Copies of this chain bind each other. A is one copy, B any other.
Amino acid sequence: MKKHNFSAGPSILPQEVLQKASEAVLNFNNDNLSLLEISHRSKPFVDVMEHARTLVLELLNLEGKGYKVLFLQGGASTQFLMVALNLLEKRAGYLNTGSWSDKAIKEAKIYDDIYEVASSKNANYNYIPKGYDIPADYDYFHCTSNNTIFGTQIKEFPKCSIPLVCDMSSDIFSRQLDFTKFDLIYAGAQKNMGPAGTTLVVVKEDILGKVSRKIPSIMDYKIQISKSSMFNTPPVFAVYVSMLTLEWLKNLGGIAAIEKENDKKAILMYSEIDLNPLFKGYASKGDRSIMNATFNLVNDDLKETFDTMCRESGINGLNGHRSVGGYRASMYNALPLESVQVLVEIMSELETKA
């Protein structure tokens, strides 16, 4: 049975990418060797790394603007640490919009003072705070563009005169933004870019080298840049599959094209949530994520019926995170509109049944 994969991450990847990835595990570059068993310093893999970097800058429209691209390991959770190690000298401002922001704050606090410019923690993060001030004398301001768990997303980024750092793990490459507003963007690959195992960092080089602490080599963005992400052996397979996914996106027409598809999916999904009396959305309407729609059954007695209907239709990964409960439809770039249609039909069928 065909699956409709709403998994929050690791999550759906384009079928043609999976096909090519599967082939490369057996025979990469027609060389009769697996991608997994060649040197990361061999020309075919160095080319993959370079091509992946170029695609990132191209898709984000950041070519020739002083940005460097890194493919690292350790997930966004390691970036919580690296951002602080590389940029935090005296004080930084963080916007707290969910579990991931909260964790980023916690890790940065090991190194120095952190100021929460605003938080939606007391409302269990169901909205995005607005109208806060960012002190102009801080080292940087950090925010999370999309909150996978709660289904909220920053629509308008604040004016910011200090370096703007953004965790875009769950919505990178999904919508057009003026990416030059950001000085450092990071994202775990496993939503819109590739398999778990690599983390994208896009950093404006001129913000680096300003802290006084001694940074461990592997955590030092400047060292990683000087070694083209090959300070040590990179996660070869995850980088290759990311490159394939970025190529797929470029061939589709880039972010402008995928944004239209993502908007269609989100409109369909949220219309059903709002019109169907059996369901209610979790996130504040103006802050709803285009990537992750969170919703609950009004009457939990229908849970078993609904879950069975979902399972029978091949729907996978719809469970909400334990801190919100209910359901979460993750509609990343590779999820076809058809999968949302199937889900919406089931929700509508449940209404007829109930």
Residues of B within 8 A of A287 (CB): none
Q: Mark contacts of A181-202 with chain B using CB atoms, 8 A cut-off: 1 yes-contact digit, 0 otherwise.
A: 0000000101000111110000
B236 touching A237 by the CB < 8 A rule?
Answer: no
Q: Decide: A197 near B238, CB < 8 A? Known: A26-B22, A74-B73.
A: yes
A10 at the interface (CB under 8 A from B): yes
Tell me, in angstroms, the Cα distance from A76 to B231 when the chains sit together. 12
Residues of B within 8 A of A226 (CB): none
A218 at the interface (CB under 8 A from B): yes
Instruction: Choose among B1, B7, B233 the residue that contacts A188 (Cβ–Cβ < 8 A).
Output: B233
Residues of B within 8 A of A65 (CB): none
> Closest CB-CB distance, A217 to chain B, in whole Å?
6
B19 touching A5 by the CB < 8 A rule?
Answer: no
A212 at the interface (CB under 8 A from B): no
B238 touching A5 by the CB < 8 A rule?
Answer: no
> Closest CB-CB distance, A10 to chain B, in whole Å?
6
Q: Mark contacts of A229-244 with chain B using CB atoms, 8 A cut-off: 1 yes-contact digit, 0 otherwise.
A: 0011111111001000
- In chain A, positions 97-137 with a C-beta closer than 8 Å to chain B are 103, 106-107, 110
Q: Mark contacts of A209-233 with chain B using CB atoms, 8 A cut-off: 1 yes-contact digit, 0 otherwise.
A: 0000010111100000000000111
The stretch of A29-37, A154-162, A172-180 in contact with B is A29-37
Q: Decide: A32 near B9, CB < 8 A? Known: A234-B196, A237-B238.
A: no
Residues of B within 8 A of A25 (CB): 18, 21-22, 25
Tell me, in angstroms, the Cα distance from A40 to B75 when the chains sit together. 13
Tell me, in angstroms, the Cα distance from A236 to B10 when the chains sit together. 9
Residues of B within 8 A of A106 (CB): 217
Residues of B within 8 A of A197 (CB): 73, 197-198, 235-238
Q: Decide: A37 near B5, CB < 8 A? Known: A74-B74, A107-B216.
A: yes
Tell me, in angstroms, the Cα distance from A197 to B40 when the chains sit together. 12
- In chain A, positions 292-321 with a C-beta closer than 8 Å to chain B are 314, 316-317
Instruction: Choose among B196, B216, B232 the residue that contacts A110 (Cβ–Cβ < 8 A).
Output: B216
A273 at the interface (CB under 8 A from B): no
B26 touching A196 by the CB < 8 A rule?
Answer: no
Residues of B within 8 A of A73 (CB): 73-75, 78, 197, 235
Residues of B within 8 A of A75 (CB): 73, 218, 232-233
A3 at the interface (CB under 8 A from B): yes
Residues of B within 8 A of A31 (CB): 3
A107 touching B217 by the CB < 8 A rule?
Answer: yes
Residues of B within 8 A of A26 (CB): 18-19, 22
A39 at the interface (CB under 8 A from B): yes
Tell me, in angstroms, the Cα distance from A34 to B3 when the chains sit together. 10
B23 touching A36 by the CB < 8 A rule?
Answer: no
Residues of B within 8 A of A231 (CB): 77
Instruction: Choose among B23, B216, B314 the residue that contacts A81 (Cβ–Cβ < 8 A).
Output: B216
Residues of B within 8 A of A74 (CB): 73-74, 78, 218, 232
- In chain A, positions 1-59 with a C-beta closer than 8 Å to chain B are 1-3, 5, 7-13, 18-19, 21-23, 25-26, 31-34, 36-40
Q: What are 28 A-to-B residue pairs whose CB atoms are below 8 Å? A: A3-B31, A7-B37, A7-B39, A9-B39, A19-B26, A21-B25, A21-B36, A22-B22, A22-B23, A22-B26, A25-B25, A33-B316, A38-B317, A74-B232, A75-B232, A77-B217, A103-B217, A110-B214, A110-B216, A195-B236, A195-B237, A196-B234, A196-B237, A197-B197, A197-B235, A197-B237, A235-B235, A238-B238
